[in-house]
Every structure is written in structure tokens, then in C-alpha cells.
Chains A and B, each alone.
Chain A
């Protein structure tokens, strides 16, 4: 497995600091569910970044990585739904919980096509919400243009999450080395896009 470099560590540290900033200062004036959903999303980013710095990429060998990498888009998309499309909050909460449980179960009981299908479904739906909901809100003039950066962050997390998740279920889209090479930069860009985009909310 690729060894983590000093540059990787620096990028992950900045990612963690940005996530910590967002949790501490960037979640004001929104409802409780959105606040805690975003907290979970950015919290996972922060703790995962710190653990990667400490333990290196070998930390990704843990079985729970697939679940954790799904938790970020699911919690962020739930926050967005609860904030901007509150009529769907219950339905989407059930989808998010069921999706997470399904990923957890298939992770430990099944590999191959079925696990990949569940992963694609959960990542796909949550990813689409994070990408298109903020952009739609910006186009409709309900949010400033800068808010669409949340959508860009969503596109990046979708890419990173899928690369990592498919790697872990044994159907890699790129080589492991390539994924680990781009992962720290991808995480940083994604977090920066989220923090910048959310500053317009």
C-alpha cells in the first residue's frame, strides 16, 4: 500500500481544520436536524482526516471504511433536505438510515454485485441531492450563486466516495495507488468547496 507523505499529511490537516471551522462557526441559524446532520458529515471528515494522518493509508484497511465513506454524503444530503425541502425530511431520513444499514449488512455478508449495487444506489441518490439541490436553489435565486459550491463539493465527494467504496468491495474503478494519490487533495478540495458554499447559506 502507498505510504502517506508529508504533503498528504499537510493536505489532510488543512481538511481537518476546515471541517473543524465549519462545525464550530459555520452552522448557525439552521434547524437542529440540519445542524447535527452537517456536524456528523464534517465530523466524520475531521476524525477520518486525523486518523489518516496518524495511522497512514493502512487505516483504510478497516472494514468500516465503506460505511464511514457513505456516512458523509448521507448526512450532508439529509441536512440539505431538512433545511431546504423539509416536506421530504421523514422519507429521506428513513432512506438514509435504511441505506446505511443495508451497506453495513452487505459489507459483512455479501461481496460482489449486490454490495456494489447497494453502494451505487445509496451513494448515487445522496450524491445527486448534494450536487443538484444547491445548484437548483442558486438558479432559482433562493440562494446566492456561491451556494452552488456546495454542489461542487458534492460532485467531488461523490467521486471520492465511489472510488473508495468500490475499491473496498473489490471492484476498483482506478488502481489503489492512483486513488490514494489523489485522495488527500480530493478531500481538501471537497471540504473547501463545502465550507465556501455553506458560507452563502
Chain B
């Protein structure tokens, strides 16, 4: 019993911080919402658990591998310098093995559930770890597009698992996430501009300008709300839910325009937080639409 307890303590201390819990939870919710948007029978608990388990492992695996590869730049940036791979709490080899194991189990489980679903999950992991993190992140600010594409994979995968095919609603939902990513990541890169500069990671604020970045955030917010609006219509959301989505989308748009008109740290941070809340709310609406 004591061994088990100490084992759990080690996992909590050394491995849990390697999983970006909020990011993982949000992506997991998008996957489940994508599945529910297909109006699947919710009593199919085995499939729901399989979806949640495989997604959780795959997303966590990709964040661990991401953290493993980025440990050198994480050590330079004050915001990330307390991560266990930077402090030496977790050894790089341990993190790599942990990340690979949970990724393989997650993708394997996904392939076992449904081959097409598994392929999309694998594509998400591949785009995030190989294309975004390893290949492009340190080369170009535009790498976030690939980060966005991988971020859109869970919702598409969930939808595919529910419907058995790739349909326009699933693609539009994934596009919604893709367009939402700049609102989320670019506000972050504005807020932690000095950190990224110190680590020599190209970002939109450093490559272009703060004002251009804010313009991109505003435009991508509009595109995200349009994509989610179209997808919600395709899913068959009730008029009441559609009205609620319009209200939440208007909030995101107004905040993005406000950040463009009178930029400040407070507005930028507000937009960052609201964007997460917006995504969560949109996905909850998709979820409830499926009930």
C-alpha cells in the first residue's frame, strides 16, 4: 500500500506536470463534443469511455513529447522555467519514454476503436509533435497554423467516431478550432513577448508588430465564430442555443476589436481568457445538442 502511495506521489510530482492539464482538458472536451454533435446514443458508454481514454492519452502524450523537445527553450523563459524537465525533477529520458508510451497506447486504442478515427488522432499527434514542435516552431511564426490544424483534430476525430465518416460539419468544427487558435496563442505571445524573444522563438509580435498581431487576432476571431456558427447550424442546434452562440461570439468579436482599438495588458489577458471560455461554451453547446 505504501509502495503504491509513493508511486502515485512520484507520478504526481514528476509526470503530471508534463501534461498541460488545461490544454489537454480543453482538447479532450472538443473531442467529446465532436462525438456528441453526431447525436450518438449516449448510452453507448463503452465508446464514450474509449474515446475519452484514447484522446486523453494521445493528447497528453503529445504535450509530454512537446515539453521534452522544448526543454531547452523552456529553461530560458521565466514562465516555463519551473517545469520539471527544466528543474531536473524529471530526466529527459524518463519524459521521452513516458510520452512515447502513452502516445502509442492512445493511438493504438484509437485505431482499435475505429481505423479512420485512429488515423486522425495519429495525424493530430504527428502535426503537433513533428511538424509544429520539431520542424517549424523555431523557424517561423506561421508554425501556429500547424499547431492549429493539430488542435482541430480531436473535434474532427470525435465527429468521425460518431458519424463514421468525414463530413463538412466535422471539417468546419476543426476549422473553427484552427481559427480560434490564433486568438488563444497570439494573445499569449503578446503577453509573454519578452519570454519568447529571450528564447529566440519567432512569434507574430516579434516578426511583424503588435498591431498586426492584434489585427490577425480580430480577423481570426471573426472566422472562428463564423465557422462555429456554420457547424452549429449543420449539427442542428436549436434556435435558443444558436442565439446563445451568437451572443458569446459577439462578446469575442467585441473584445478582439477593443484590443485592436485600445490595446492594453488587461484587454489582451481578458481576450485570452474569454477565448478559452468561448471555446468551452461552444463545445458544451455541441455536447448538449447531442443529448
Contacts and interface: CB of A to CB of B under 8 A. Distances in A.
Genuine A/B complex: yes
Interface stretch (A46-54, A115-123, A152-160): A46-54
Interface string A4-37: 0000000000000000100111011000000100
B266 A58 contact: yes
Instruction: Please report whether the interface of chain B is mostly helix, strand, loop or mixed according to DSSP.
Output: helix
Instruction: Please report whether the interface of chain A is mostly helix, strand, loop or mixed according to DSSP.
Output: helix
A27 B266 contact: no
Contact of B247 (A23, A51, A62): A23
Contact of A27 (B240, B250, B254, B277): B240
A47 B240 contact: no
Interface residues of B, number: 19
B248 interface: yes
B198 interface: no
B274 A23 contact: no
A39 B243 contact: yes
A132 B40 CA distance: 47
B250 A47 contact: yes
Nearest to A68: B254
A170 interface: no
B270 A55 contact: yes
B69 interface: no
A144 B186 CA distance: 52
Given A24-B241, A59-B270, A54 B277 contact: yes
Interface in B242-276: 243-244, 246-248, 250-251, 254-255, 258, 266, 269-270, 273-274
B243 A47 contact: no
A146 interface: no
A23 B240 contact: yes
Given A39-B247, A46-B247, A50-B251, A55 B240 contact: no
A43 B246 CA distance: 9
Contacts of A62: 258
B240 A50 contact: no
Interface of A: 20, 23-25, 27-28, 35, 39, 42-43, 46-47, 50-51, 54-55, 58-59, 62
The 6 A-B residue pairs whose C-beta atoms are closest, nearest first, are A43-B247, A47-B251, A24-B240, A54-B273, A55-B270, A23-B244
Interface of B: 238, 240-241, 243-244, 246-248, 250-251, 254-255, 258, 266, 269-270, 273-274, 277
7 contacts: A23-B244, A23-B247, A28-B240, A43-B243, A43-B247, A55-B266, A58-B266
Given A47-B247, A50-B274, A54-B274, 9 more contacts: A24-B244, A27-B240, A39-B243, A39-B247, A43-B250, A46-B248, A50-B251, A50-B277, A59-B270
